[in-house]
Chain A
């Protein structure tokens, strides 16, 4: 009898451990899902390579620089994106980037940060600071480059805080003083500080990050960045009456 009870209690113990294990796995997966939901609004992480196809466009073709026609022509050169008006473009661009996956995609496609998707805690504590980072701005060229970064399209003069872990980052000239060798990389994080009244706009920022060779002034790459505030969805799946 005692043996039976001991056996039973052992089975219960194993079952209990299994339940705890499964709950912990589920918690980790939920955290991952929550993180992926926020990846388009908070702590946006983007891989960026240079030189890239975007760099071949003239400055006038770049989003945030030229006309609406210029925008669409640049976009058609890049990734496969849906083109059905500003909102649908925004949604599709975000999805196409595989951002926040811990470094998946190698090419820096357009980035749309939708602050409407910001998590509730961030909205409560600090809704007006938008963070974007690139752990790896990689030199895919055969030659070394002295890299300068430029933020383009900051027409509203939002304060932007730049931060790199690199020793050779020169904040004043926005240049990495050491040559980036082929295969080498630099990193950068940007904090956009948006005045609260501007947060209500549909399009808060429409510009991009340019990677420039500091010696030749040649543009090596360009990453269009758009900060928007909209609940609209390209697929309509977020709407309650969606089919």
Chain B
């Protein structure tokens, strides 16, 4: 949906830019490229990374989070510095710039988001206003950290990044990853790709509810949001025409209007900037400083 007064060129340009960054994410994290693993092999020659065919598993964004309650497991970071991506690099980035990784680089989130755009809205679920994303997101994150202590770890069995790797590999002709199907894998695929992906408005249902890496970044984004020197999505109440365009196009369904004020959920906003380019009155921007309303 394009609002009167918005240049379609700028919106198309924005989406092309985002799509290009998501492809950069694929090249960085996913086999057959896995550039980040290759770079780490050069930077950290002592690490065990040089011995493996790099793929998304070497830069896992889930396991280090599930180890947070197990200090002895966290020591594995010493053997693979790429585990620090999710423990240090992404939280710091999110603190300073909001979770730009989720909105611009994450192929697993971008894949479902862009696929969901192909499905008419009437076939999609919209969770906004019906459930509160934030407590579910952090409840699941807490559960993910606690499960290895109580029952069995769920980080590998229910991994959407692993499935994304399978799709990327299949795109390059390697279908071997689809040779084995497990019950948990089938559940993950159905939830991530279909139920919370393609058939959820915005295509970011998995990100909002079940992604631990996104939850960690959301937390750090929230922590920094009131500082004047960090970049965030800012809303200018005076310029706002209350057209609700931003509400409708926001992929993570993070924008909600109540009366005259606009509430941007700092825990789930992924700084994709779709709202910024689509706003007909330029009331939303991505910049430093405080907004006229929080």
Chain A residues proximal to chain B, CB less than 8 Å: 16-29, 31-36, 38-39, 42-43, 100-103, 118-122, 125-126, 129, 131, 161, 163, 165-168, 178, 184, 191
Bound CA span A42–B188, Å: 15
Known: A28-B147, A29-B150, A100-B152. A165 touches B53 (CB 8 A): yes
Question: Does more than half of chain A's interface fall in helix, strand or loop, or is it mixed?
Answer: helix
B172 touches A (CB below 8 Å): no
A165–B183 touching, CB < 8 Å: no
Which B residues are in CB contact (< 8 Å) with A163? 176
**Stretch in B15-23, B133-141, B238-246, B275-283 with 4+ CB within 8 Å of A:** B133-141
Taking the nearest CB of chain A, how far is it from the CB of B180, in angstroms?
Answer: 5
B182–A24 touching, CB < 8 Å: no
Taking the nearest CB of chain B, how far is it from the CB of A193, in angstroms?
Answer: 9
Chain B residues proximal to chain A, CB less than 8 Å: 48, 51-53, 55, 57, 66, 73, 131-132, 134-140, 142-144, 146-148, 150-158, 176, 179-187, 209
Taking the nearest CB of chain B, how far is it from the CB of A164, in angstroms?
Answer: 9
Partner of B53, one of A17, A167, A184: A167
B132–A28 touching, CB < 8 Å: no
Complex A-B: 16 CB contacts under 8 Å:
A16-B132, A23-B139, A25-B142, A25-B143, A25-B146, A28-B139, A28-B140, A28-B144, A29-B151, A43-B157, A43-B182, A101-B152, A102-B152, A119-B182, A122-B183, A163-B176
Known: A35-B184, A102-B66. A167 touches B52 (CB 8 A): yes
Bound CA span A48–B187, Å: 29
Taking the nearest CB of chain A, how far is it from the CB of B162, in angstroms?
Answer: 11
Of A16, A34, A167, A178, chain B has the most CB atoms within 10 Å of the CB of A34
Nearest-neighbor residue (CB-CB) of A189 within chain B: B180
Partner of A129, one of B137, B157, B181, B186: B181
A20–B147 touching, CB < 8 Å: no
Partner of A29, one of B66, B146, B181, B185: B146
Partner of A20, one of B135, B142, B182: B135
Nearest-neighbor residue (CB-CB) of A169 within chain B: B53
B135–A21 touching, CB < 8 Å: yes
B51–A166 touching, CB < 8 Å: yes
Nearest 5 CB-CB pairings of A with B: A28-B143, A24-B139, A119-B183, A32-B147, A36-B152
Which B residues are in CB contact (< 8 Å) with A22? 139
B182–A131 touching, CB < 8 Å: yes
Which A residues are in CB contact (< 8 Å) with B73? 102-103
Which B residues are in CB contact (< 8 Å) with A120? 183
Which B residues are in CB contact (< 8 Å) with A42? 182-184
B53–A28 touching, CB < 8 Å: no
Nearest-neighbor residue (CB-CB) of A130 within chain B: B180
Known: A20-B131, A120-B183. A102 touches B139 (CB 8 A): no
Nearest-neighbor residue (CB-CB) of B131 within chain A: A20
